[in-house]
Amino acid sequence: MSDRIIDLSRAVPPIVERLEASLAGSLASRLNTKDAGGLLRTNRPRGTEEDRLAGAGWISQRLGFMPAIDRMIVTNGTLNILFLLLNHLVGRQGTLLTEEMTYPNMQALSGILGFKIEGIRMDRDGLDPAALAQACRANPGIKVLYTIPTLQNPTATVMPLERRMEICTVAREHDVIIIEDEAQALLLEDGPPPLSTIAPERCWYVMGLAKTVVMGMRVAYVMAPSVEDAEAIMTRFGRMSMWFVAALQAELAQVLITTGIAAEATKEIRRIATERRAIVGEILNRPALLERPGGLHVWIPTATDAEEIAAAACSAGILIRPGIQFAASPQATPAMSGLRLSFCEVRQEADLRLAVSRLAYLLR
């Protein structure tokens, strides 16, 4: 193993240096102008009206409309609401459908909450509607699909509009509820519309700030399919204050959104990520990586030896994740083989160039 590690394994946003001061200053100035004691003495189940309004404005960038604040929930990050939704909608012994490779914490959630995961086949346009329909027919008890249609984790796929419509049609036919996670979606300037605008009656829309504003914020905005759905979930869990968004975080998120700092951060993250992606595409000499718009990672298809390549890279001091680490369940081997390369954790561009050059050698 090399003595210096270059980490290409974590899909985190780059540090936006020129915004560091405004991030810190925003909260300080808000606490000076508001009754800080009052802010901290109150709990915020689902967020205050101002929190939800700021969140509705933020997600309207993707939805194209301003959701009613009664449908909004503000939570301590995406994982927090996923925990509640999966417990409420899938439950112990239930089965959750996901892409065949997905956000790895899904496996942890399935272990804690006791549900099974069935991975659905994907192609370069994302979930395969025929495979989804087949899974629904084979197990009519299935009611919930978790999906990342825009800049998928790990494949970076952006599901085209037509495919989105097909997925929504299948969900309607089989009465499946959709949890749509748009963690990185704002890194696309003109991404196709969310599923939540195509089948709003059955979609829970979730957008965290971790990937597109600042990593440790732990705030996510959620739009429920209806006011009743938003209320039902909080009636079930709402008395436990650990599910309430933390006041300071919610306040900071509100300030960053209403002052425009959050939007500026997203724009800058998008700019840096685009530059870095170009470096990766050029060094790997894989123009296909750049044919489609991207986020904080690229997917490098390999024959079948992605794990071996990742192990060799590790010995050369480069951390990169093979697709198998994202498999929906330990029993299933995904049909797509490849590596997820994330390029924004590395501070110095020279380190990125060095690591990708070594990787290019291993991929030959």
Ligand X SMILES: Cc1ncc(COP(=O)(O)O)c(C=O)c1O
Measured CA angle at 26 (ends 21, 31), to 5 deg: 135
Choice between 220 and 247, CB closer to ligand X: 220
134, burial (CB in 10 Å: exposed 0-12, middle 13-18, buried 19+): middle
- Of the residues 59, 72, 127, 148, which one makes contact with ligand X according to CB under 6 A: 148
Q: Does 208 bind ligand X (CB under 6 A)?
A: yes
Residue 153 is a binding residue for ligand X (CB under 6 A): yes
Among 15, 27, 39, 79, binds ligand X (CB under 6 A): 79
Based on CB atoms, which residue is closest to ligand X, 220 or 309? 220
Whose Cβ is closer to ligand X: residue 220's or residue 280's?
220
Terminal Cα-to-Cα distance of the chain (whole angstroms) = 20
SS3 breakdown of the chain: % helix, strand, coil, rounded to 5?
50, 15, 35
Site string for ligand X, 32-71 (x = CB under 6 A): ----------------------------------------
Closest distance of CB 357 from ligand X, Å: 26
Distance CA(348)–CA(67), nearest Å, equals: 40
Size, binding site for ligand X by CB under 6 A: 12
Q: Which is nearer to ligand X, 122 or 133 (CB)?
A: 122
Which residue is closest to ligand X by CB? 208
Question: Which CB atom, from 210 or from 253, has the smaller least distance to ligand X?
Answer: 210
Q: Is 177 helix (H, G, I), strand (E, B) or coil?
A: strand
Judged by DSSP in three states, 147 sits in strand
Single out the segment in contact with ligand X by CB under 6 A; choices: 16-24, 43-51, 75-83, 252-260. Answer: 75-83
Nearest to 79 by CA among 188, 222, 191: 222
By CB neighbour count within 10 A (0-12 exposed, 13-18 middle, 19+ buried), where does 268 fall? middle
Please report, as ranges, the residues that interact with ligand X according to CB under 6 A.
Answer: 11, 77-79, 103, 148, 153, 181, 183, 208, 210, 220
